[in-house]
Amino acid sequence: MTTRREHAEQLDAADQLAPLREQFQLPPNVVYLDGNSLGALVNQVPDRLADVVTRQWGDHLIRAWNEDAWWQAPIRIGDRIGKLLGAGPGQVVVGESTSIQFFQALTAAARLRSGRRLVLSDLNHFPTNRYLAASVARLLGLEILEVSADDLQAALREHGSDVCAISFGAVDFRTGALLDIPQITEAAHSQGALVVWDVCHAVGAVPLECDADQVDLAVGCTYKYLNGGPGSPAFLYAAARHHAALDLPLTGWHGHADPFGMTHAFEPAEGIAKARVGTLPMLSLLALDAALDVFDGVDLTAVQTKSQDLGDFFLECLADLLNTTPELGVVSPRRATRRGSQVTLSHPEASPVMAALIARGVIGDVRPPGLLRFGWNSLYIRYQDLLHAVEALETVLSEGEHRRPEHQVPRLVT
């Protein structure tokens, strides 16, 4: 009979994506299962960034805006991200944080359907989307109705012609559940509403098809599966068919038709450039640019398949522990095709359990209420890593390591 260890080794040996791991600088003795929160460092980033700092900024100084094409970077890099979104060129721009992009996108969606007063918003949305949706609603005089994806069809039937926009997270940040993007988008359109997708927990892990699925607007971050670095700039996708009428609230000078004309009134640029706002943090932006090289030539369908297989393997390995530990539960969908690239478990002592795992070099995170998140970037995570994580969890729980005093200390960032 094959042991778990042998099985993991066989799966790793057969993994076509395995060589990609060499493109990352992963610390020794760490199994990193928080790439869904902050991606790992890509080999070429330090040297590329050093060049940006010393040669472009240090030597070229202000001339770098022209000579090193800094000005064009948000659109150029947006197009690179667009390839991972299934978006043709000229529909994605990199910009300030996801929170800012969401504010832009939802306001624009509501204005494109002015007269309609209701936003249907994901009951399980990442908090910042909920908070900003409330702000948009207050500014525009809208109402928000929070619904789960399961209840969306009924809500659309009830409120159809009142609904200006719906907004969902493509992958639930807590459970890792992957929503049916084309189906939900089509449901919104059938009632004349627009859809704003948050793809933070999907981009780079799941092959998205924004153009083919007729997505209207999407926002996402680049520091999770795209490995852009801590807080690397976010992006906004707006389908070309909406560009002419797109009416954005953050009318910064970079979005002007003639930014250096410095004319009196705002006149939006053509195309996605109108969604630019202010001067972006070029060091973080160009670190992201270097990190994106990893995706050149990578088939996201293969990445997704590996993620699903990793998840199935993780759950297989966990089966005994789950059977013998009634307080440990599986929160993520059991069906691989319903998951993003993450499996979430529940445990009443999630925080100290995760602290004990981190002390053992297995890094995931926790989310309320009592959720242990294990996310993986299939570009660098191996089957043996997930087995190691399961073994660590088995040891932590069997030895009661999570009860030790040093693991009771709350951390600021969880």
The least CB distance from residue 152 to its own copies, in Å, is 19
Query: What does 56-68 look like in DSSP terms, one character per residue?
Result: IIIIIGGGHHHHT
Matching residue, tokens 């949305």: 125
Are β-strands 371-375 and 365-367 bridged in parallel, bridged antiparallel, or unpaired? antiparallel
Q: Which is nearer to its own copies, 269 or 298 (by Cβ)?
A: 269
Contacts of residue 189, Cβ cutoff 8 Å, sequence gap at least 6: 195, 214
- CB-CB neighbours of 349 under 10 Å: 17
Structure tokens at 407: 């693991």
Q: Which is nearer to its own copies, 277 or 387 (by Cβ)?
A: 277
Q: Give the bridge partners for 119, in sequence order.
A: 144, 165
354-389 b/e with 16+ CB inside 10 Å = b?
A: bbbbbebebbbbbbeebbbbbbbbbbbbbbbbbbbb
| Phi, psi for residue 366 in degrees, rounded to 5 | -125, 150
Active site residues: 126, 198, 223-224, 373
Of 344, 408, 411, residue with least CA distance to 376: 344
Query: What does 181-217 look like in DSSP terms, one character per residue?
Result: HHHHHHHHHHTT-EEEEE-TTTBTTB---TTTTT--E
Q: Give the bridge partners for 362, in sequence order.
A: 31
Q: Which is nearer to its own copies, 41 or 240 (by Cβ)?
A: 41
Contacts of residue 313, Cβ cutoff 8 Å, sequence gap at least 6: 7, 8, 11, 383, 386, 387
Contacts of residue 384, Cβ cutoff 8 Å, sequence gap at least 6: 5, 8, 9, 12
Alpha carbons 398 and 400: distance in angstroms, whole number: 6
Q: Which is nearer to its own copies, 294 or 300 (by Cβ)?
A: 294
Contacts of residue 17, Cβ cutoff 8 Å, sequence gap at least 6: 298, 302, 303, 306, 378, 379
| Phi, psi for residue 119 in degrees, rounded to 5 | -110, 125
Alpha carbons 405 and 403: distance in angstroms, whole number: 6
Alpha carbons 144 and 167: distance in angstroms, whole number: 10
Q: Which is nearer to its own copies, 38 or 345 (by Cβ)?
A: 38
Structure tokens at 365: 């995170």
Q: Which is nearer to its own copies, 277 or 393 (by Cβ)?
A: 277
